[in-house]
Amino acid sequence: MLELQHVSKSYNKGKVKAVDDLSLVVQPGEIFGFLGPNGAGKTTTIKMIVGLLKPDTGTIGLNGLDTQKDALKCKSITTYVPDYPAIYERLTGMEYLNFIGDVYGVMKKDRLERIEKWLEIFELAQAVASPIQSYSHGMKQKIVLIAALLPAPQVMVLDEPMVGLDPRASHHLKELMREHCDQGKTLFFSTHIMEVAEKLCDRIGIINKGKLIACGTMEELRKLDKEQSLEHIFLDLTEK
């Protein structure tokens, strides 16, 4: 479970409020889609959840643990995929996956089984022995996704994970996200693709100018805006 309580973050000595008193809960087994225009505060929120940024106020809880007080425990049950795959380009794909396996303490048997499975699904098996520097953008995104899946985390936090993926990989990712949550685990992701959010998410949150302006299931959001598509709801809500 992921729980944000009155979380705020500002830049420029408080002049720019990136996230303003944000509270939300993502239940176990739930895929939560986080939507918002550019600069609305999505990435800032995500970075606070995974510990890259420190909230000015408020608390973030993961499975009952406080991300500030129990940082290490929280990190050991969470994996994160950033919006841009800035990873160790001088390592080979396999060295990178081994590094992630080592720091998360994944056993050899599980490691081998999972790496083989994900490499095949994402069609990356033939590139895994090559330096990441030789990968295309989409391939880098795939290796980051495999690395995030490798520790079989309780919570996955993904920032625009579909960017750069080909349609097949994108389809597999959506299936994997569903599978992850069907095991009772939590998934929080941001996206600009309304169709994906509409079809995949159990609940959706829309953030604008740092404030959560809508949150609920697709049905609940439709009630807010005369039962239109998510795209229309998003446009109407973020226009204000």
Q: Is 218 in the site for other proteins (CB under 8 A)?
A: no
Lookup result for tokens 């996200």: 177
Q: Is 121 in the site for other proteins (CB under 8 A)?
A: no
- Token pair listed for 149: 């899946």
CA dist 135 → 47, 114, 128, 208 (Å): 25, 21, 10, 35
Q: Is 57 in the site for other proteins (CB under 8 A)?
A: no
Q: Select 20 or 70, whichever has its Cβ closest to other proteins.
A: 70
Q: Is 117 in the site for other proteins (CB under 8 A)?
A: no
Q: Is 126 in the site for other proteins (CB under 8 A)?
A: yes
Q: Is 76 helix (H, G, I), strand (E, B) or coil?
A: helix
Q: How far, in Å, CA of 21 to CA of 68, rounded?
A: 17
- Stretch binding other proteins (CB under 8 A), from 33-41, 46-54, 186-194, 206-214: 46-54
User: Which residue among 4, 50, 60, 149 contacts other proteins (CB under 8 A)?
Assistant: 50
Binding-residue total with other proteins (CB under 8 A): 51
Q: Is 105 in the site for other proteins (CB under 8 A)?
A: yes
Q: In the 8-state DSSP scheme, what is residue 136?
A: -
Q: Is 54 in the site for other proteins (CB under 8 A)?
A: yes
User: Which residue among 25, 104, 209, 218 contacts other proteins (CB under 8 A)?
Assistant: 104
Min dist CB 161 to other proteins, Å, is 15
- Token pair listed for 74: 């929280």
Q: In the 8-state DSSP scheme, what is residue 192?
A: S
Q: How far, in Å, CA of 7 to CA of 134, rounded?
A: 40
Q: CA 53: distance to chain centroid? A: 15
List all residues 6 or more positions away from 98 whose beta carbon is below 8 Å from its beta carbon: 111
Which residues form the interface with other proteins (CB under 8 A)?
12-13, 47, 50-54, 71-73, 75-76, 78-80, 82, 86-88, 90-92, 94-95, 97-108, 111-112, 115-116, 125-131, 133-135
